[in-house]
C-alpha cells in the first residue's frame, strides 16, 4: 500500500478496472500513488477480488457501470481529479459485432471525455494500442519504430479502427475547457501485445497445447518479430503518466507514448514459449509446419464456420484471417519518448516479468488440476 506520508487528497477513476490491464493499474495505484484518497473502479463486470482492497487506508469505491451510458460515466466521474480510461472491447476474434466494438470503444471514450468537461475532471489518460498504427492492411512491417516513424496506418478491422478513432478524440480533447474554466489535459498510451498475470489469450493457448498432448505447432516464421510488453510495466506507465500530467502538461498534453520495456523481440509463438515451455509445452517445428497459403485457407474456413454457426453458437478460434496477418507481420517498437518526457523506466526487468508470468501460469495449472 502507498506511504501515507504525503497528504491523501486525490480521487482517481479507473474505467475497465477489473480487466487484465485494469486490475494491474488498480493495484499499482494503491502501491505507488501516495496522494490517493479515493480510488473508483468502474467496470461492466466487477470482480470478487475487489473486496480485499477495501481494508486499506485508501477509500476503494466499486461502481458497476457501462461506459456507453453517458450518465453513468458522469456520475462516476463527479469529483475525480484523474481518470484512467482502460475500458474497452478487445475483440479480434469476431465475438462482438463491429457496431458493439464501436459503441464501447468510441462512444464510450466520447462519454468519458464529455464527463470530464461536464464535471471538471482535468486529467485523462487513455489506453490506446499499437494497433492504432499497425500492422496495416497491406502487411507492411514496422521494425523497431517509434512515435515519429512514418507508417501508413490503414485499417479495415473494427477493433483497430475503433482504437484509432478513440485515440484521435482523446488527443483532440486536449486543451478543452472543463467545468471551472481550466483546460483538460489528455494523453494516450499505446501498449504493444501485453502479457503477464491474467492474460486470457495466454491461458487459451496453454489450454490448446494441453489438448494437443503438450505440443504447439509452429505457424509463424521465427524471423517475424512481434512487440510485447509486461502488464506490470504498462500499469506503471499509466500511474506515472497520471502523476506527471499536471506538472508537465505543456510537454505531455495531447501526446502519444508507446508502452515498452526490456521484453525481447521474438515471434509471437517463440515469445509465448518463454512461459509455456517451463509449464511443460513444446513448440514443434523450427519453421512453419504448413505453407502460408494453407494457413490462410484454414483461417478463411474458420471465418466461414463462425459466420455459418453464429445463429446457433459462438465459434471464435484463435486463428482467423486477421490474427494470422497480425502474427505474421513484424511490429516492434524501439523508443525512449516516455523516458524523455516523464522519466519512465520499466519497473520490472525482463527476468522479473518472465518469472512472475511463469509463476502465474504454474499456479493456474495446479489450480486447474
Ligand X SMILES: NC(=O)C1=CN([C@@H]2O[C@H](COP(=O)(O)OP(=O)(O)OC[C@H]3O[C@@H](n4cnc5c(N)ncnc54)[C@H](O)[C@@H]3O)[C@@H](O)[C@H]2O)C=CC1
Ligand Y SMILES: CC(C)[C@@H](O)CC[C@@H](C)[C@H]1CC[C@H]2[C@@H]3[C@H](O)CC4=CC(=O)CC[C@]4(C)[C@H]3CC[C@]12C
Site residues for ligand X per CB under 6 A:
16, 18-22, 43-45, 66-68, 86-90, 104, 108, 127, 129, 163, 191, 193-194
Measured distance CA(317)–CA(119) in Å, rounded: 42
Task: Residue 23: name the closest of 216, 238, 285 by CA.
Answer: 238
Task: Kindly state whether residue 326 participates in binding ligand Y, applying the rule CB under 6 A.
Answer: yes
Question: Could you give the dihedral angle defined by the CA atoms of residues 241, 343, 171 and 13, in that order, rounded to the nearest 10 degrees?
Answer: 0
CB of 135 to ligand X, least distance (A): 13
Task: Pick what 44 binds: ligand X, ligand Y, none; C-beta below 5 to 8 Å, kind-dependent.
Answer: ligand X
Measured distance CA(48)–CA(12) in Å, rounded: 20
User: Which residue reads 464510450 in cell numbers?
Assistant: 108
Catalytic residue (one of 12, 159, 268, 322): 159
Active site residue 143: no
Measured distance CA(273)–CA(358) in Å, rounded: 10
Task: Pick what 209 binds: ligand X, ligand Y, none; C-beta below 5 to 8 Å, kind-dependent.
Answer: none
Task: Kindly state whether residue 276 participates in binding ligand Y, applying the rule CB under 6 A.
Answer: no
- Is 176 buried (19+), middle (13-18) or exposed (0-12) by CB count in 10 A? middle
| Among residues 30, 164, 219, 338, the one that binds ligand Y under rule CB under 6 A | 219
Kindly report the length of the chain: 369
CB of 29 to ligand Y, least distance (A): 21
Task: Kindly state whether residue 131 participates in binding ligand Y, applying the rule CB under 6 A.
Answer: yes
Is 166 or 249 the residue whose CB approaches ligand X more closely? 166
CB of 193 to ligand Y, least distance (A): 3
Identify whether 270 is preceded by a cis peptide bond (ω within 30 of 0). no
Is 129 or 186 the residue whose CB approaches ligand Y more closely? 129
Label the pairing between strands 142-145 and 228-230. unpaired
Contact 164, 153 (CB under 8 A): yes
Residue nearest to ligand Y (CB): 193
Residues near ligand Y, by CB under 6 A:
90, 92, 129-131, 193, 201, 219-220, 268-269, 318-319, 323-324, 326-327
- Residues catalogued as catalytic: 159
Amino acid at each position: 500500500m502507498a506511504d501515507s506520508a504525503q497528504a491523501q487528497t486525490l480521487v482517481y477513476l479507473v474505467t475497465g478496472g477489473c480487466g487484465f490491464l485494469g486490475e494491474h493499474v488498480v493495484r499499482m495505484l494503491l502501491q505507488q500513488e501516495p496522494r490517493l484518497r479515493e480510488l473508483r473502479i468502474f467496470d461492466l463486470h466487477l470482480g470478487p477480488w475487489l473486496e480485499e482492497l477495501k481494508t486499506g487506508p485508501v477509500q476503494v469505491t466499486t461502481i458497476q457501470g457501462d461506459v456507453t451510458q453517458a450518465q453513468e460515466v458522469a456520475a462516476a466521474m463527479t469529483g475525480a481529479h484523474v481518470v484512467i480510461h482502460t475500458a474497452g472491447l478487445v475483440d479480434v476474434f469476431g465475438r462482438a459485432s463491429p457496431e458493439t466494438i464501436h459503441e464501447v470503444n468510441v462512444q464510450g471514450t466520447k462519454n468519458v471525455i464529455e464527463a470530464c468537461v461536464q464535471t471538471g475532471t482535468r486529467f485523462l489518460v487513455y489506453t490506446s494500442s499499437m494497433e492504432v498504427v499497425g500492422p496495416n492492411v497491406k502487411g507492411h512491417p514496422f521494425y523497431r519504430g517509434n512515435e515519429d516513424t512514418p507508417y501508413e496506418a490503414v485499417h479495415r478491422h473494427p477493433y483497430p479502427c475503433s482504437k484509432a478513432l478513440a485515440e484521435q478524440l482523446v488527443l483532440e480533447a486536449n486543451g478543452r475547457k472543463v467545468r471551472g474554466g481550466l483546460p483538460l489535459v489528455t494523453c494516450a498510451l499505446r501498449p504493444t501485445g501485453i502479457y503477464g498475470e491474467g492474460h486470457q489469450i495466454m491461458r487459451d493457448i496453454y489450454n490448446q497445447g494441453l489438448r494437443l498432448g503438450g505440443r504447439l505447432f509452429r505457424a509463424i516464421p521465427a524471423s517475424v518479430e512481434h512487440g510485447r510488453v509486461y502488464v506490470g510495466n504498462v500499469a506503471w506507465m499509466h500511474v506515472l503518466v497520471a502523476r506527471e500530467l499536471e506538472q508537465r502538461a505543456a510537454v505531455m498534453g495531447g501526446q502519444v507514448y508507446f508502452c515498452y520495456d526490456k521484453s525481447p523481440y521474438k515471434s509471437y509463438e517463440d515469445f509465448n514459449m518463454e512461459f509455456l515451455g517451463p509449464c511443460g509445452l513444446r513448440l514443434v517445428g523450427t519453421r512453419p509446419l504448413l505453407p502460408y497459403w494453407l494457413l490462410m485457407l484454414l483461417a478463411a474456413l474458420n471465418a466461414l464456420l463462425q459466420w455459418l454457426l453464429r445463429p446457433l453458437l459462438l465459434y471464435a478460434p484463435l486463428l482467423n484471417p486477421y490474427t494470422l496477418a497480425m502474427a505474421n507481420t513484424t511490429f516492434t517498437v524501439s523508443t525512449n519518448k516516455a523516458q524523455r518526457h516523464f522519466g519512465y523506466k520499466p519497473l520490472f526487468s525482463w527476468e522479473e516479468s518472465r518469472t512472475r508470468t511463469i509463476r502465474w501460469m504454474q499456479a493456474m495449472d495446479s489450480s486447474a488440476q
